[in-house]
Amino acid sequence: MTVLRVVLRHDVGARGRDAFHFTDLLGHDVVKLRHREARREFLELEVGDDVVVAKNGIHPLHMRFRADDLRNLSFRGAATADQHVCRNWHECAPFGSFLRAMVAVRSGSGKVPWALHPVSVQCPTMDPVRVRFAPSPTGYLHVGGGRTALFNWLYARHHGGTFILRIEDTDRTRSTGEAIEQIFASLRWLGLDWDEVYRQTDRFDRHREVAADLVRQGAAYESDGAVWFRVPPHGVTTIPDLLAGDVTVQHTELKDYVILRSDTTPTYNFACVVDDHDMGITHVIRGAEHLNNSPKQLLIYHVLGWSPPQFAHVPLILGPDRSKLSKRHGAGSVLDYDERGILPEALVNFLARLGWSHGDQEVFSREELVALFDLPGVNTSAAVFDDEKLLWLNHEWLRRLEPHRLGELLAERIVVRGVADRAAVKDIGREKLARAAVLLRERGRTLVEMADRARPYLPGSVELSADAQDLCTPELRSALREVAMRTEALRDPSAQEFEIVLRRAADELGLPMKSLAPAVRVAVSGARVGPGLYDLLAVIGPEIVAARLRTAAGGEKKG
RNA sequence: GUCCCCGUCGUCCAGUGGUCUAGGAUACCGGGCUUUCAAUCCGGCGACGGGGGUUCGAAUCCCCCCGGGGACACCA
């Protein structure tokens, strides 16, 4: 048994929102401190001698304090249970079974000073986290689904839990095998590996069996060939959502709904409950569009006597028009981003930051995300997908990649984009590819942009635009010939050596670098803009440089 | 229409009653550096939806309004 100690230091701050609670992962034996007058600065939690969390901690166990449960606490002190503290979630150490806390309390609503009192809370031993991503294979996986998958995956990995992939293919008319393959490919590309995978269609017998139980006990009935769940006519159902807080729905708002279609296949709201239960799901992390389904599902848990998982409905991703991101917003498929030359590292980073944050940090590696991600950092408002920022992040990640790996990605892309064939790419070698990639990535935001500008680094000639040709006056042409000659004398020159050669040539020919440099650049690369000239020349190599200089100097249209 | 959720710069976030003349990022606009572009550095533009409360004090708590979104299927 681990003893945790929560110390409330000082009393500052209030946040009278139901959305902020302390809860354990299973929702068992939880305690909520009334947050009305909640005040506190931070919690300090300890496991044994190790302090495991302070403000904005990153720990796996969310303690939830409920006002009602406070009465069950043993107070060492004179406090009564209906005055207290604390809002905000916080986490305790992993797998604690006992919690001792110091809570700030006061015995009146007036200006009675706060006092610290110790409390003890019995916590159940935590079951390991089991979460699932449950896409419906009716189309490609778009970024909204990708983010839901990511959040689930991160949550599982952060807590050392299990990430389950469940294909929700109960709608046999709309589900396709192709879509399933797409989903697998998308998750693989994002780097979200799953520990278990299920197909709902494989479990129809089980669904029918549970439906029959429901009918037998009168909780469901058959009508017109379908089986309907009977919603209690009165009362309310409250979903304790980890993000939205308690969401209460009147039963009068709900209608009886179909759980088994007339073809005996189960529907979503039913199959989902049976499977989540059977698979031992501890946390249902899904898009906010499902919030309204939760009461229906909770009702089934109740009549079956099953304990429900914890729910966390994550905010939606919106398109530029502020409606839920969907296929009609264009490039929504996860794999489209691959095609656009976006790195999975960048998309993962971007998606994580849409609705989740860790202070002001913007760039996160996968490892950092696993270490830092947790539900308390997730916010509740919908976010607009901003392509510009994605591009910026992609550039950041391009610049962080190991050069040789980037070179390989570039090579692939060069071939795909038809900039050169595989043989030409192979010809320049791994080393040069990496060096070229390093130059290219400074001015390209995607692999596609890089590949499309890679021509100068590949063997063969470059095409000079008419505009570029104009740069080469007769005077410069002879200068280019001179530079070509001097270049040929070089053996594997570095950028510095190229600089010396050019400067000396310019000097001796009485030409300012301002006119020689652009001419050389255009002659060698075909473009007026690009990387630092000497770096460019060094990567391309003296042979090709000299050849291209001579071609340009010769005045032919094609080099 | 009904119910539910949400509401800080154009966009993404920080902010958990005083440290906020509101911070970071992106985008945009100037300037420096440079053979170009990029990177980088410096500077700038730019937000607490509105109204009432509570409080000595509110971006933060409460209420109303407004706005946005989502859900109301034998889709998931």
Task: Kindly provide the ipTM of the predicted complex, given to two decimals.
Answer: 0.96
Q: Judging by beta carbons within 10 Å of its beta carbon (0-12, 13-18, 19+), is residue A388 exposed, middle or buried?
A: exposed
What amino acid occupies position A192? Answer: L
pLDDT of residue A467: 67
pLDDT of residue A466: 72
pLDDT of residue A348: 98
Q: Which nucleotide is nearest to A40 (CA to C1')?
A: B16
Instruction: Return the nearest residue to B60, CA–C1'.
Output: A15
How do strand A220-223 and strand A283-287 relate by DSSP bridges?
A: unpaired
CA dist list (Å): A541 to A12, A61, A406, A480, A523:
66, 58, 20, 16, 14
Residues 6+ apart with CB under 8 A from A28: A123, A124
How high does pLDDT run on average in chain A? Answer: 79
Confidence of residue A475 (pLDDT cuts 50, 70, 90): confident
User: What torsion do the CA atoms of A191, A192, A194, A198 make, to the nearest 10 degrees?
Assistant: -110
> pTM here?
0.81
Confidence of residue A239 (pLDDT cuts 50, 70, 90): very high
Q: Which nucleotide is nearest to A16 (CA to C1')?
A: B61
**Residue A12 CA distance to nucleotide B58 C1' (Å):** 14
Residues 6+ apart with CB under 8 A from A457: A428, A432, A436, A439, A440, A539, A540
Contact between the CB of A290 and strand B at under 7 Å: yes
Lowest mean pLDDT: which of A47-56, A65-74, A419-428? A47-56
**Residue A316 CA distance to nucleotide B12 C1' (Å):** 14
Confidence of residue A462 (pLDDT cuts 50, 70, 90): confident
Instruction: Give the other-Cβ count within 10 Å of A208's Cβ.
Output: 16
Q: Is the pLDDT of residue A500 over 90?
A: yes
Q: Which nucleotide is nearest to A87 (CA to C1')?
A: B16
Instruction: Return the nearest residue to B68, CA–C1'.
Output: A322
Identify which has the larger pLDDT, A330 or A292.
A292
Separation of alpha carbons A89 and A55, rounded Å: 10
Q: Beta strands of A10-142 (E only): which ranges?
A: 42-47, 50-53, 61-62, 74-75, 91-92, 98-105, 115-122, 130-133
Q: What is the 3-state secondary structure (H, E, C) of A278-323?
A: HCCCCEEEEEHHHHHHHHHHHHHHHHHCCCCCEEEEECCEECCCCC
Instruction: Return the nearest residue to B17, CA–C1'.
Output: A13
Contact between the CB of A138 and strand B at under 7 Å: yes
State residue A46 phi and psi, 5-degree precision. Answer: -135, 145
**Residue A390 CA distance to nucleotide B13 C1' (Å):** 14
Residues 451-510 of A with CB under 7 A from strand B: none
Contact between the CB of A521 and strand B at under 7 Å: yes
pLDDT of residue A199: 96
How do strand A257-260 and strand A310-314 relate by DSSP bridges?
A: unpaired
Confidence of residue A555 (pLDDT cuts 50, 70, 90): low
The residue-averaged pLDDT of A192-217 equals 97
Separation of alpha carbons A373 and A351, rounded Å: 12
Place of tokens 């166990």: A61
Q: Is the pLDDT of residue A441 over 50?
A: yes
Separation of alpha carbons A56 and A370, rounded Å: 16
Strand partners, A310: A283
**Residue A380 CA distance to nucleotide B8 C1' (Å):** 14
Catalytic residues of A: 327
Q: Which nucleotide is nearest to A389 (CA to C1')?
A: B26
What are the pLDDT digits (tens) for A504-548? 999 999 999 998 999 999 999 998 899 999 999 999 999 999 999
Confidence of residue A126 (pLDDT cuts 50, 70, 90): low
pLDDT of residue A328: 74
Contact between the CB of A533 and strand B at under 7 Å: yes
Instruction: Return the nearest residue to B39, CA–C1'.
Output: A442
Identify which has the larger pLDDT, A305 or A559.
A305
Compute CA A154 distance to the chain's CA centroid, rounded to the nearest angstrom: 8
Q: Is the pLDDT of residue A61 over 60?
A: no
**Residues making up chain A, counted from first to last:** 559
- Segment holding A415, helix H or strand E: helix A403-416
Strand B positions closer than 7 A to protein CB: 2-8, 10-18, 23-27, 35-39, 58, 60-62, 68-76
Contact between the CB of A16 and strand B at under 7 Å: yes
A337: three-class secondary structure by DSSP: helix
Residues 397-436 of A with CB under 7 A from strand B: none
